[in-house]
């Protein structure tokens, strides 16, 4: 499946009476990787939960390749081709690595083919498929989240601070996996991050979110991009 265009138009959302995302519009082009950065409490995770249908849109719309997914429930949004690696690490810890990886597959017969595609970038799982996910280290669990998303072969992947608390070697492994996925399948990425070097390495473009609104939109590879982002994060 090739990458899809994700479009948000004038989206407002939040928790009950509390508005967190305000009249936000953005487009992530097919095959593009966009990093959304900002300090804690700015609405980054809220935005991803809104896209996935876990939070209702108070106003505005969300489209994937022109199809309206605004009112779809989360499981239907996943079927459209959006994979979500949440910050809360929603693994099934009492199940094996293999069972976690197959959760997003339409049928078990796809497992061997899909796993063969991701095994080169996640070799840590090759001989451990029967191991319980709950026995993995924190870094391995994060890698399993990304691996599970890739197993779905989605058109769009949403990643919520996937590098938080990880050692540099694991962060590098995840960066390689995401860049490999884009190269092979043209997958669209929207990643929430506070790790600026990782975000700029993986992304084509960055956005800075402040108080539920986009404050800056820039080229991730432009000279001075990191400095500009850090200036926004200090304020």
How does pLDDT run across 57-83, given as a tens digit for each residue?
Answer: 999 999 999 999 999 999 999 999 999
* pLDDT tens digits along 109-128: 999 999 999 999 899 999 99
Say if CB 74 and CB 51 are below 8 A apart.
Answer: no
Residue 1 pLDDT > 60, yes or no? Answer: no
Mean pLDDT over 192-218 rounds to 92
Query: Is residue 88 over pLDDT 80?
Result: no
pLDDT in tens, 161-202: 999 888 999 899 899 999 989 998 999 999 999 899 999 999
pLDDT for res 235: 67
- What is the H or E stretch that residue 210 is in? strand 205-210
- Nearest alpha-carbon partner for 148 in 76, 222, 92, 68: 92
Q: Is the pLDDT of residue 135 over 80?
A: yes
pLDDT at 46 over 90: yes
**pLDDT exceeds 80 at position 156:** yes
Torsion of CA 47, 52, 53, 59, to 10 degrees: 40
CB 104 within 8 A of CB 152: yes
Q: How confident is the model at residue 158 (pLDDT cuts 50, 70, 90)?
A: very high
Q: Does domain 6-234 have CATH number 3.40.50.300?
A: yes
Q: pLDDT (tens digit, 9 = 90+) per residue, 11-22?
A: 999 998 889 999
The percent of residues above 90 in pLDDT, for the chain, comes to 74
Domain boundaries, the chain: 6-234
Tell me how far the alpha carbon of residue 32 is from its chain's centroid.
13
| 68 bridge partner residues | 63
pLDDT band at 90 (very low <50, low <70, confident <90, very high): confident
């Amino acid at each position: 499946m090739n990458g899809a265009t994700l479009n948000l138009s004038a989206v407002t959302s939040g928790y009950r009476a509390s508005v967190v995302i305000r009249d936000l519009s953005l487009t992530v082009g097919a095959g593009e990787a966009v990093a959304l950065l900002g300090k804690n409490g700015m609405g980054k995770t809220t935005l991803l939960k809104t896209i996935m249908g876990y939070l209702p849109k108070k106003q505005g719309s969300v489209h994937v390749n022109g199809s309206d997914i605004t009112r779809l429930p989360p499981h239907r949004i996943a079927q459209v081709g959006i994979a979500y690696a949440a910050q809360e690490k929603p693994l099934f810890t009492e199940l094996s690595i293999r069972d976690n990886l197959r959760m997003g597959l339409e049928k078990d017969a796809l497992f061997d083919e899909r796993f063969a595609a991701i095994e080169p970038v996640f070799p840590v799982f090759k001989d451990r498929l029967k191991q319980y996910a709950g026995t993995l280290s924190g870094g391995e669990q994060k890698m399993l989240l990304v691996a599970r998303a890739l197993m779905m072969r989605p058109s769009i992947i949403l990643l919520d601070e996937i590098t938080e608390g990880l050692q540099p070697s694991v962060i590098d492994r995840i960066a390689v996996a995401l860049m490999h996925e884009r190269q092979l399948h043209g997958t669209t990425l929207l990643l929430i991050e506070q790790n600026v070097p990782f975000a700029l390495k993986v992304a084509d473009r960055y956005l800075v979110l402040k108080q539920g609104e986009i404050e800056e939109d820039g080229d991730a590879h432009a000279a001075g991009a990191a400095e500009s982002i850090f200036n926004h994060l200090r304020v």
